[in-house]
Every structure is written in C-alpha cells, then in structure tokens.
Structure 1
C-alpha cells in the first residue's frame, strides 16, 4: 500500500516512475494566445476600451461548426415537431467572443398567432423577426434595477448592510424590520415570490404599499426564495434616495451612456412594428399583448417596475454584457466601478446551493448557461423567453431572445434552446491537447453513456492520463471502471488528481466546471491477471457542459507500459468519443 501511494504522488508531480514518465504539465497561459481558447481562462476584466465589432468565428480562433449546429437547432424549434407545439414563434440571437460579434441571426416570427389557442393569422399578417426586433425582457429587467441600486451605493446614498426599513419605514411590517438591502439583491429576505398586485389592489399607490408590507414566507436569511417583491422594493428604495423615477434612473444611468437606444420601458408607438408579440392574455382580458409589458404586476404599475418592464434588442443586450466584461464601462462611458462589478458577481449564498447569487446577477446556472457556466459566469433569464449569459473567464456573451409565451405560456419552456445556444459558443472554443496533435473528446448528449475501452491488459497495475473536465457538476460524470472478467462486470476504480481546481483525495468519479484546466490523474487498478479498462462519461436528462477530453492515456505493469494510448490509439474502442485537435 505504501509503495502504491508513493507511485501516485510521483506520477502526479511529473516524476519518472514505473519505467516511464508522467504526462507533461500543460503549458502556461502565456505560452499560447487566449482568443478562442476555452482552456486558457482570463482572471480579470477585458480592457475597458473593448467595443463590439462585427466579425467571424474564425477571426478569433473559433470553430464555426458548433455555432452553426446551434442555429440549426434553434431554427427547428420555431416549427412543430410532430404534434408538439413550437418552443417559440421566433428568436434573435447574438454571440460575442473577445469583443467580436461572431454570430447573429433572426429566426421565425415576431407575430404569428391570433389567439391563445394557437390559431394562426393569415400569412400576410405574420411579422418576421429581424435583427432589430424589440423584446419584452421580463426578469432581465432586474439587472437594470440592480445596476441603478449599485450606482446609488457608489454615491453613498445606499448602504447594503443597512436595513431596508431605515429607508422605507413601511417595509418593517410583518416582521421585516431586520432585513438588509443586500438580502433584497440576493433573494434571501424570505419574502414570498409573488402576490397578484394587479388583481387585489385598485391603483399604483395601494399596490406599492402592498408589496412593501407583504408577509414573509420564511424567516429572513434561512433560505433562498426568488421573489419579484424584492426587486419591486429595491426600485422604490432607489427612487426614494435618488429623487427620480426608475425609468429616468435607468435611462440616465445605464442606457443613454451605453448607447442602448432601443432599451427602456414602454416602447413608443413609432417602434411598435418592431416589437415581438407575447401572450394573448385572457385573465386579465388584455388580448394579444404587444408593445406593453407582459408581466401583469408590472403592467398594473404603469409598465415601470423593479422586476419587469424593460424592452430591448439582442444587440443592445450584447452591449450591456460587454460592459460587464469590461468592468463597468463601454464606449468610453463608465456605468459602474470595476470593484462594484466584481462585488456584484461574487456568490453570496454558497449555503443555499445549487442557487448561486451575486448582487442582482444569477451565477453558474447550467440550466441555461450550459457550457458557458462557471463560478464567475453571470446572467439572468426572463419569463417571456429571454436569456443573457456573460462569461468573464472566456470573455464571451450569449444573448438569446425569444417570444416563447406567444401565443400562450402553456406551450412550455425554451430552456433547451437557451442551453443549445450557450453550448454552441462554448464548444466553438478550443481545448489544446496536452500531448501530441489530438485528444479523445466526448460532448455526449443528454441521457447518454459514452465509453472508451481498452482490450484486456495482462499485468496492468496503474493507469495514468490527462483529463479536461467541464460538466454539469455532480450530475454528469467521468468514471474510470475496471473489469477482471472480460467486460461482464465493471467496478469504478479510485482516482487521484492533480492540477488547478482538482479535487483532493481519492475520487470515484470526476465532474465540475469553472476551473477550465487539465488535470493529471492516476487510477489504481484491481489485482488481477488481466484487467480491462473503460472511461465512461455519463450525462443526465438535461444540461451539460463543454465536455470531456482525455489525453496521454497510459497503463503500466510492474516492468513498464502495457498500453500507450498516444502511440496505439487503435487499441482503444470508442463509443461516443472521437479524436479532436480543437
């Protein structure tokens, strides 16, 4: 046992052992360019002068094929699949990498249906999506409210650690007197998610009063409850301390400085022809909602609310995302200080995993960020079918705007499209093999096992390999399994890993995201005359990551190598794996 432990230590530190050498450590980030590289993460903000410019995937070292595949999926989802309804009537998307708009497009229709039953309008009444189509952003509006609040923090008018009631005395009702402003931003107030302000109160003053005085669902600080009431409260607080309405604060503090000319509340009539329709509302009886905010509570508050109400285009939202990557500035205009943006993208609620929240931003959510997810990846979604993903580690932005509630919210979720779009950009970025010109790669689809299997290896004792793992944590796993009966039965073997972000101690499986680095791995094999090995990558029913790479596979016996995967790749049987140089 002691000699085997020493072997593990030696291999993981790159020392010569068992008649060979361990895999070479990956080159430093400075050894190669970082553009187009998923495995060369950035640690800081992009240069503050970075401004969006149109280009191509190839200009920044990306592989076009995964992006094209994502667009093909998005296009298919605009139409019925058999008897199933479309995921959405139409979509507009923008992908940004290293300041370059590498892909953009518009699919389907901004207006297609006449009622909530899905009756189609005559085709000459359909309105196609365009690059400049304006969408109801729904809860992405919360990011604009959060930015306005943090601007007031920078000016010393709001203290995140003061109680909300010290600014808004009415908020103290129903046991909320101790809740801090920071808890509103992180959704840890314990407030209930929603109350029907539009239905149960007659006018805006009574609705605001009801939101402030709302009862708690659970004690503050004891859990995470995503609540529109938190952001309604934050907007009222910002208006109180700044002495101006929310729409003015957003316009003067965010959209005007950033040149987001199509972003704001209550789109003017002259832009109505560019606005995507949302739902045919029966209760309340609003008919086909187009050009007014879809959210009923925001509608009842005049279209301007902390939780919903913003309309925008994909290009404008890409500018917002680049502002975040730049540390708070864009086009020579600073919206927030870098330290403020850094604070906004720290996870303040690790105790409430898998929920991860900064100050306003959602963080590291595979259910829509997919392959772009990581500890620093920030974003938000909107109920109407919108999503924004901002990945500082690769300096990338993915904006996907759909009208998935047109004609009705009951047709389902567009989360598969959100994931596919983010995954396309992630897989377009390269991962450089550690040894030789290529590595084994699996980006297995949902609910699939991919296996890479050796023949029976006489005298096998130890396996070593390099691995790059970017998966949905804990749910999508790479397991190394051994069989001593010719493949009839399999058992996992313990793994020891080394490298940035590698787990400590013996592991039965490897998973996770965010570290974006190669690990060196040792697998201690069972005692047997012949041992067959397989690397099994298993995915669950939804969400994914960039995928898994294997390189430098070697299996050792007492006298040296019994398998060299670099020199003998044909001895490995691949199902769901392929060799890749990217």
Structure 2
C-alpha cells in the first residue's frame, strides 16, 4: 500500500501552500467595518442573562490571512441546570472560566467532515471505490449489504438510513454493533429512491468500513492523515479537560444521566462508543479549524503538507458535497451561493468555506450549556452574511 507521504498525510515536493498569518482585514482584502460588525455581533451573542451561548469564538479570514480572531463570554458559566425554573445555576464570577481564542470545543457533527476527508483519502489511494457497495467491505452488515448501499450514498446522506439508533441503551459494544448490522434503510437507497436524509448512521458505517479496510481506528486515521501533518495539535478525540462546558445531561431532556459535561463528548451515542465515532467526538479550536479550512481552499495543501490532491478536494466539495453541506443559507447566510460549503454541530459549532471568494469563517459556541434548546441557526447565518459583506 502507498505510504502516507505518497498519498496524503505527508509532504509533497510538487504542492505547497502558504501558512496562515494574523493580519489586518485590509491586508486580507476585507472591509474593516464589516469585520468589526462581525465581531460585535458575536460578542452580542454571549451578552445578557439569556444569551444565545454563554461563550463563543470566531475566526475568519481570506487567503492566507486570519483577519478576525475573537473570543467572548464564558467557557464555563453554570454549575447545573434547574428544570423547575428552566434556568442555569450560575457559578460565582470568580469560579467561572473565561472563553479564550485557544479554548477547545466539542465539535459534535463537524467530526463528520474529518471522517469524510479520511474516506476520500482512501478513494485517492485507490483502496476504496466511491461507488463501491458497503457489502463488499462489510458483509456482516447484513441489511446495508442486502440493500446495496454504496460509499457515495453514505457520504451524501442518500442511504435511506434513519437519523440515529439508541446505541446508548445497549448493554455492551457487541450489542451496539449488532444493532448497526441489523439496521435496514427506511427506503430504497440512492437519489432516485429514498433521496437525501441526514443520518449519523452513515458516518458510523463509514467508520466501520475505514477501520476494517485499513486495520486502524478512526482516531489514528484522523491523527496520522489529517491533524498531525497539518500541525493541528489541538484537534483530537476526547477527553479534553480544558474544553468549553456543554450540557447538564440528564433525563428526560437528554438520553443519559451524566451531569454537567466538560471535556467529554456530548453526543450520547459517541459517548457509548467510547468517545471515538464517525459522526461526533472530536475536540478542536478556532485556530486549528482555520488551518483545516485553509487547507481545503488551497487544494489540499498547507505549507509543505498535503492531505489530498486538488482533484479530490474538488470531489469532496462539488455539489451535493461529500460530507459537506453546499449552499445552505439557513446557516451560511449570504455566503451561500456559488458553491460555499460547510457544516454545523449540535453543541453550537459551525464552519463555512467559500472557494469563490477564498474565504472562511469558523464560529464555535457552547449553545447547549447548561441545557439543550430548540436549534437557532440565525446567529450562524448572520456571521456568514457579515463575512459576505466584508468581501464585497
């Protein structure tokens, strides 16, 4: 099998891309007034008694320049959630933990992007076919094999699999694995059958496939193939003790009784799977995610490292996107259009990459601290709109 150095996750003599540097909006070709308003809007999200999030970090830039890098609010503000009053139990100010630009976050579903890149790396190496049937690699996953689910269908959420399974209620790993093996799609897989249906199970099956194919666990594949070559030293699967706090996770509003969470994965299924899952489990910082964004905008290279060739980055980002969502105004705002791509995470995380303008924006927030609420992506869309205005 080709080495990491030959096919992603290593160095390339042919391809090199400038590394990120912090500079002014003007040097990045951005409107300084719009970037100032972007920062103001993010600060406002964390203000008051009932903020959108207790704390947030925004990192945005164009080309190799980071023009916005700001933290606001608290990484830890509450000790618990009080269901009787439907409010958080606030810590004394001296006991709270301020948010900083280096605070790690539970990325939640942004993990799917890294799983997708790991899969496309195998496609580039020729060890995995994008239209290959899952049954060829995982014959013991009976229903996926019987319905001819393909790698492409997992990556584009057209497999017909339901959004999730209660793996957190299973007695042990063997029971969890059997539940996945026996899961049948709700309809005929493929764009001409069931069509699009967002599902964590797609990435869990993809994780199983990648681990079976390579003989390495997903955390090692991500570390060796993506984060280590790119110098993303603050990105890894948990535990991550210094991370922003998430939820006081208790039934009936959650699916497990775990108390206030900090530095351990929020997603109940990822937790049940030991913290390493294809759909959730990674922790990272705004700076590291800026490197990830810049790498994709530069065709898969960052400095002397290359994790994908340009053609395979194009495959990853071309509509409908492999793992990435394409042109979704509900969280991208006015950045949506002409092929902007990105993703959101349940804990309050998001990133958007716009190849047309060579821009990116990362918004990390702990919106589920101290308890999950009805999703509100309006602030994410506002940040995307501010960034689009800054380009204009």
TM-score by length of 1: 0.61
Match of 2:117 in 1: 147
Equivalent-residue separation in structure 2 for 1:77 and 1:208 (angstroms): 40
Check conservation: 1:141, 1:306, Cα contact below 8 A: yes
Match of 1:207 in 2: 176
Give secondary structure in 2 for the equivalent of 1:115: strand
Q: 1:464-543 alignment to 2 at 5 Å?
A: none
Equivalent-residue separation in structure 1 for 2:258 and 2:161 (angstroms): 29
Q: 1:98-113 alignment to 2 at 5 Å?
A: 98-113=63-78
Match of 1:88 in 2: 53
| Paired positions, count | 366
Q: Which runs of 5+ in 2 are unaligned?
A: 1-14, 83-87
1:345 positional shift: 1.2
Match of 1:59 in 2: 27
> Which range is displaced more, 118-127 or 167-176?
167-176
Give secondary structure in 1 for the equivalent of 2:26: helix
Check conservation: 1:48, 1:327, Cα contact below 8 A: no
Q: Deviations over 1:70-112 (max 9, x none)?
A: 222222221337xxx2110000010111210011100000000
Equivalent-residue separation in structure 1 for 2:51 and 2:379 (angstroms): 11
Check conservation: 2:297, 2:353, Cα contact below 8 A: yes
Which one has the bigger helix percentage? 2
Q: Deviations over 1:278-333 (max 9, x none)?
A: 00001311111111000000000000000000100000000000000011111210
Equivalent-residue separation in structure 2 for 1:413 and 1:429 (angstroms): 28
| 2:349 is equivalent to residue 386 of structure 1 | yes
Q: 1:76 aligns with which of 40, 44, 47?
A: 44
Give secondary structure in 1 for the equivalent of 2:288: helix
Q: 1:227-266 alignment to 2 at 5 Å?
A: 227-266=199-238
Give secondary structure in 1 for the equivalent of 2:368: coil
1:206 positional shift: 2.1
Equivalent-residue separation in structure 1 for 2:266 and 2:95 (angstroms): 21
Give secondary structure in 1 for the equivalent of 2:246: coil
Give secondary structure in 1 for the equivalent of 2:56: strand
Q: Which has the larger radius of gyration?
A: 1
1:363 positional shift: 0.6
Give secondary structure in 1 for the equivalent of 2:81: coil
1:174 positional shift: 7.0
Q: 2:315 aligns with which of 339, 343, 349?
A: 343
Match of 1:226 in 2: 198
Q: 1:367-516 alignment to 2 at 5 Å?
A: 367-410=330-373, 412-430=374-392
Equivalent-residue separation in structure 2 for 1:185 and 1:124 (angstroms): 45
Equivalent-residue separation in structure 2 for 1:113 and 1:177 (angstroms): 47
Check conservation: 1:170, 1:213, Cα contact below 8 A: no
Distance 1:134 1:158, change over 3 A: same
Check conservation: 1:212, 1:233, Cα contact below 8 A: no
Match of 2:163 in 1: 193
Equivalent-residue separation in structure 2 for 1:265 and 1:377 (angstroms): 27
Give secondary structure in 2 for the equivalent of 1:59: coil
| 2:276 is equivalent to residue 314 of structure 1 | no
Match of 1:457 in 2: none
Equivalent-residue separation in structure 2 for 1:400 and 1:116 (angstroms): 24
Check conservation: 2:245, 2:261, Cα contact below 8 A: yes
1:184 positional shift: 0.3
Equivalent-residue separation in structure 1 for 2:175 and 2:295 (angstroms): 37
1:48 positional shift: 4.2
Q: Which runs of 5+ in 1 are unaligned?
A: 1-46, 348-356, 431-582
Check conservation: 1:280, 1:288, Cα contact below 8 A: yes
Q: 1:111-150 alignment to 2 at 5 Å?
A: 111-117=76-82, 118-150=88-120
Equivalent-residue separation in structure 1 for 2:272 and 2:171 (angstroms): 9
Equivalent-residue separation in structure 1 for 2:129 and 2:182 (angstroms): 21
Give secondary structure in 2 for the equivalent of 1:409: coil
1:215 positional shift: 2.5
Give secondary structure in 2 for the equivalent of 1:427: helix
Match of 1:17 in 2: none
1:175 positional shift: 7.3
Equivalent-residue separation in structure 1 for 2:58 and 2:264 (angstroms): 22
TM-score by length of 2: 0.90
Equivalent-residue separation in structure 2 for 1:389 and 1:54 (angstroms): 19
Check conservation: 2:134, 2:144, Cα contact below 8 A: no
Match of 2:8 in 1: none
Equivalent-residue separation in structure 2 for 1:263 and 1:234 (angstroms): 20
RMSD across aligned positions (CA): 1.5
Q: 1:163-178 alignment to 2 at 5 Å?
A: 163-173=133-143, 176-178=146-148
